[in-house]
Amino acid sequence: MTQFYQPSNRFSAGGVALYLLGGIAAAAVLALAYVYAVWYIPLIYVNFLATIGFGLVLGVVLSRLVKAGKLRNPRLAGGLGLLVGLMAEYIQWAVYLTLIINTTDVNEFGSGARQMSIASTSFSPDVFLTILAHPGGMFSVMSELAGTGSWSIFGIQVSGIFLVAVWLIEAAIIVAMPALSAHTAAQAPFSEQCGEWAQEEAMTRRAPMLTNADEAATALLGAELYPLPHNADPVFCRLKLYATPNDTNCRFASLEQVRIEVDNKGKESEKTSDLLSYLALSPEAYETLRERFSAPLPDMAEAVTAEEQELPQEGQSTEPSVAAQPQTA
DSSP string, 28-78: HHHHHHHHHHHHH---HHHHHHHHHHHHHHHHHHHHHHHHHHT---HHHHH
Q: Is residue 319 part of a domain?
A: no
Tell me what pLDDT residue 118 has: 66
Write down which residue in 151, 186, 221 finishes a domain: 186
Q: Which of 231-235, 256-260, 323-327 has the highest mean pLDDT?
A: 256-260
Tell me what pLDDT residue 318 has: 41
Q: Is residue 163 part of a domain?
A: yes
Please tell me the distance from the alpha carbon of residue 230 to that of residue 228, in angstroms, as a whole number: 5
Provide the pairing of β-strand 156-158 with 190-191. Answer: unpaired
Residues above pLDDT 90, as percent of the chain: 65
Task: Give the pLDDT confidence of 298-314 residue by residue, as tens digits.
Answer: 765 555 555 555 445 44
Average pLDDT over residues 77-86: 97
Would you say residue 146 has pLDDT above 90? Answer: no
Write down which residue in 135, 155, 186 finishes a domain: 186
Provide the pairing of β-strand 151-153 with 199-202. Answer: unpaired
Tell me what pLDDT residue 40 has: 84
- Same-domain status, 143 and 283: no
Mean pLDDT for the chain overall: 87
Tell me what pLDDT residue 145 has: 86
Integer angstrom CA distances of residue 230 from 211, 287, 293:
20, 21, 11
- Give the number of domains in the chain: 2
Q: Is residue 328 part of a domain?
A: no
Task: Give the pLDDT confidence of 240-298 residue by residue, as tens digits.
Answer: 999 999 999 999 999 999 999 988 888 989 999 999 999 999 999 999 999 999 988 87
Residues above pLDDT 70, as percent of the chain: 83
- Same-domain status, 174 and 68: yes
- Same-domain status, 126 and 157: yes
- Same-domain status, 35 and 166: yes
User: What range defines the domain where residue 239 resides?
Assistant: 196-306
Q: Is residue 107 part of a domain?
A: yes
- Same-domain status, 154 and 249: no
Q: Is residue 329 part of a domain?
A: no
- Same-domain status, 155 and 21: yes
Would you say residue 115 has pLDDT above 80? Answer: no
